[in-house]
């Protein structure tokens, strides 16, 4: 858990550095092409403002992914450099304060999840699965017979 005591922020901003185990982040990824099993590295400052907290710094996580085109496993480094997060003390989105402290973990988790790749690719120019020699190209293998008959029509 990434916890900050608000009393420590009265005099000055504090810097938080370290790593959080993936189990504590509880990413609950339901995509079989992405696994988030490595720790999250963080380096940011927490500053108390009049109306909330301001977090600014860097978050980093390495994801174990499988390319959606060629099914090759690869590592995807997710870096949020220049990351900022404002946590208000009042209003609808107010941060929950318990025992003069705030758990920052849910806010870090949310911002990291928003940066997960939607369709992980090993390279932007990945050509996809290779077809073997003597085999039909993939589009002909999966072509329904109904469409094959329509292709015979002449316009």
Select, from the ranges 2-11, 39-48, 126-135, the one with the highest average predicted confidence (pLDDT). Answer: 39-48
Q: Is residue 152 part of a domain?
A: no
Alpha helices in 2-151 (DSSP H): 22-25, 105-113, 138-141, 145-151
pLDDT for 29 equals: 84
State the Cα–Cα distance between residues 109 and 149, nearest whole angstrom. 52
Question: Are 75 and 63 in contact, with CB atoms under 8 Å apart?
Answer: yes
**CB within 8 Å of 119: residues ≥ 6 apart:** 33, 68
Q: Is residue 7 part of a domain?
A: yes
Q: How confident is the model at residue 123 (pLDDT cuts 50, 70, 90)?
A: very high
Check whether 90 has a pLDDT greater than 50. yes
Check whether 24 has a pLDDT greater than 50. yes
pLDDT in tens, 101-113: 899 999 999 999 9
Q: Is residue 124 part of a domain?
A: yes
Q: Is residue 45 part of a domain?
A: yes
* Residue 64, domain extent: 3-130
pLDDT for 94 equals: 87
Taking the model in full, what pTM does it have? Answer: 0.76
Q: Is residue 146 part of a domain?
A: no
Q: Is residue 135 part of a domain?
A: no
User: Could you tell me which residues are beta bridge partners of residue 18?
Assistant: 42
pLDDT in tens, 44-80: 999 999 889 999 999 999 999 999 999 999 999 999 9
Work out how many domains the chain is built from and give that number. 1
């Amino acid at each position: 858990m990434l916890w900050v005591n608000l009393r420590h922020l009265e005099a000055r901003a504090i810097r938080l550095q370290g790593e959080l185990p993936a189990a504590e982040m509880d990413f609950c990824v339901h995509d079989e092409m992405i696994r988030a099993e490595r720790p999250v590295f963080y380096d940011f400052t927490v500053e108390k403002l009049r109306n909330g907290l301001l977090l600014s710094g860097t978050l980093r996580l390495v994801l174990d992914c499988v390319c959606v085109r060629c099914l090759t496993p690869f590592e995807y480094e997710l870096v949020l450099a220049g990351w900022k997060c404002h946590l208000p003390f009042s209003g609808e989105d107010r941060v929950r304060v318990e025992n003069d402290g705030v758990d920052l973990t849910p806010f870090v988790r949310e911002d990291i999840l928003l940066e997960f790749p939607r369709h992980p690719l090993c390279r932007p120019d990945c050509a996809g699965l290779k077809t073997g020699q003597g085999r039909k190209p993939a589009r002909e293998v999966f072509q329904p017979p109904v469409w094959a008959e329509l292709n015979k029509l002449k316009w």
